[in-house]
């Protein structure tokens, strides 16, 4: 028979175990509830993956060195399983909020020698769909023209880091255009983008956004690993990976459009008529022009995200972080940027 002291110890351990189990069950349930509330099934949820709380009740899952929201992890696995790349494909790779929408417009216009008519009636994300979101994500859309094997180049976008994307496109050896942006402006734009999301009821404090960004716990992060993966690849294989910054595009869009055309194998020949085409592309793809189209001002939610179509156009400026980040935040991000980039030869993103 147990003594009174032994009985008390046993009861104490039982209560501790009960509390632990309750906490564990509540966390597991909360993760699954969030997934269901976001409109995404928890099918394929892998409890062995590292999990971090991100924004609101949302969680990120780490897989192959990258952090994913659940629906994009499912989409990524579908890309690796089902995507059949073609040698003629052009892949636009980017970290979120680094100029993706602008590059989609430019690449579409360069390859199709577009005068802007398509851009007036189609959102750039519908002209150049994102692999793990629109084509293979849980809310995937139908893009019948991307199933063709014709001679014209398909333009596809992705936020996947190099170490994952290479498994999807290496067999076809596609051309990749990678765009990046000053980390402080990237963070600011990303934070503003999240604030517009209808998925989160409570505002996301800027201090928390900075903390998560610096620790690399953001969708498709860490940012620095993402940039370095493509930067190093562009040095090793410049004929296949074109590395460009948002700031370079803003500084001289016309020159960069010509460089992109050369890389894509559809150069402008330099005569008067072609110069006019370049000027037309630069004008029709400018932030002012794109953001003025009704299709891009629409409050209607996109089919693939709970955000109005207008959310993809904010300011398109260089240095907007100065309006939001305090000196302490700037110094912290700059210090991390120097630490991460200095050995790579990429001296970029520091004031």
- Average pLDDT for the chain: 81
At residue 14, does pLDDT exceed 80?
A: no
| List of long-range contacts for 126-130, beta carbons under 8 Å, 24+ apart | 127/155, 128/92, 128/104, 128/155, 128/156, 128/157, 129/156, 129/157, 130/156, 130/157, 130/158, 130/159, 130/304
Supply the pLDDT for residue 123: 78
Which pLDDT tens digit goes with each residue over 274-316?
889 999 999 988 888 887 766 655 555 555 556 655 555 567 6
Task: Read off the pLDDT of each residue in 63-83 and give the average, rounded to a whole number.
Answer: 95
Supply the pLDDT for residue 18: 41
How far is the C-alpha of 312 from the C-alpha of 108, rounded, in Å?
Answer: 17
Quote the percentage of the chain above a pLDDT of 90: 54
Q: Which DSSP category does 131 fall into?
A: I
How far is the C-alpha of 300 from the C-alpha of 265, rounded, in Å?
Answer: 37
Assess contact for 176 and 94: CB atoms under 8 A: no
Supply the pLDDT for residue 115: 64
Which pLDDT tens digit goes with each residue over 117-170?
788 778 788 889 999 988 998 765 555 555 544 447 899 999 999 999 999 998
Which pLDDT tens digit goes with each residue over 181-201?
999 999 999 998 888 775 665
At residue 245, does pLDDT exceed 50?
A: yes
159 among known catalytic residues = yes
How far is the C-alpha of 292 from the C-alpha of 109, rounded, in Å?
Answer: 17
Strand, helix or coil for residue 155: strand
Q: For the chain, what is the total number of helices (H) and then of strands (E)?
A: 15, 7
Task: Read off the pLDDT of each residue in 228-234 and give the average, rounded to a whole number.
Answer: 97
How far is the C-alpha of 37 from the C-alpha of 59, rounded, in Å?
Answer: 13
Six-digit token string for 50: 């590292």
Assess contact for 177 and 244: CB atoms under 8 A: yes
How far is the C-alpha of 323 from the C-alpha of 319, rounded, in Å?
Answer: 8
Alpha helices by DSSP H, the chain: 4-37, 70-82, 100-112, 117-121, 124-127, 162-169, 183-195, 206-215, 223-236, 246-251, 253-264, 272-284, 287-292, 294-297, 327-341
Quote the percentage of the chain above a pLDDT of 70: 74
Angle at 307 between CA 305 and CA 309, to 5 degrees: 100
At residue 91, does pLDDT exceed 70?
A: yes
At residue 64, does pLDDT exceed 90?
A: yes
pTM of the model: 0.82
Domains of the chain: 66-342 (3.40.50.300)
Catalytic residue among 159, 226, 293, 321: 159
Given pLDDT bands bounded at 50, 70 and 90, which one contains residue 15? very low
Side by side, the strands of the sheet bearing 241-245 are 155-158, 90-94, 175-180, 241-245
Q: Which DSSP category does 144 fall into?
A: G
Distance of CA 180 to the CA centre of its chain: 10
């Amino acid at each position: 028979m147990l003594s009174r002291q032994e009985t008390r110890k046993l009861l104490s351990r039982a209560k501790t175990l009960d509390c632990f189990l309750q906490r564990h069950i509540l966390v597991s349930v909360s993760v699954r509830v969030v997934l269901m509330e976001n409109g995404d099934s928890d099918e394929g949820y892998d409890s062995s993956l590292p999990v971090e709380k991100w924004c609101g009740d949302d969680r990120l899952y780490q897989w192959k060195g990258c952090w994913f929201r659940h629906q994009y992890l499912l989409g990524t696995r579908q890309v690796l399983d089902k995507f059949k790349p073609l040698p003629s494909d052009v892949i636009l790779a980017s970290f979120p909020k680094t100029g993706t929408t602008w590059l989609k417009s430019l690449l579409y216009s360069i390859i199709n020698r577009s005068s802007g008519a398509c851009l007036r009636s189609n959102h750039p994300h519908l002209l150049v769909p994102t692999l793990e979101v629109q084509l293979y994500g849980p809310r995937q859309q139908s893009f019948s023209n991307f199933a063709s094997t014709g001679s014209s180049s398909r333009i596809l976008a992705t936020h996947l880091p190099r170490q994952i994307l290479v498994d999807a496109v290496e067999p076809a050896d596609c051309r990749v255009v990678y765009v990046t942006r000053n980390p402080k402006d990237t963070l600011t734009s990303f934070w503003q983008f999240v604030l517009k999301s209808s998925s989160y009821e409570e505002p996301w404090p800027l201090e928390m956004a900075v903390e998560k960004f610096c620790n690399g716990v953001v969708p498709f992060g860490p940012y620095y690993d993402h940039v370095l993966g493509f930067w190093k690849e562009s040095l090793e294989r410049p004929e296949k990976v074109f590395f460009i910054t948002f700031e370079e595009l803003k500084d001289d869009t016309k020159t960069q459009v010509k460089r992109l055309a050369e890389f894509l194998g559809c150069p402008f020949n330099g005569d008067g008529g072609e110069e006019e085409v370049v000027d037309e592309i630069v004008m029709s793809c400018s932030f002012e022009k794109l953001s003025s189209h009704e299709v891009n001002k629409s409050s209607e939610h996109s089919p693939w995200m709970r955000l109005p179509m207008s959310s993809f156009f904010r300011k398109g400026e260089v240095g907007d972080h100065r309006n939001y980040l305090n000196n302490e935040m700037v110094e912290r991000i700059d210090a991390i940027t120097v630490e991460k980039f200095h050995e790579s030869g990429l001296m970029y993103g520091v004031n």
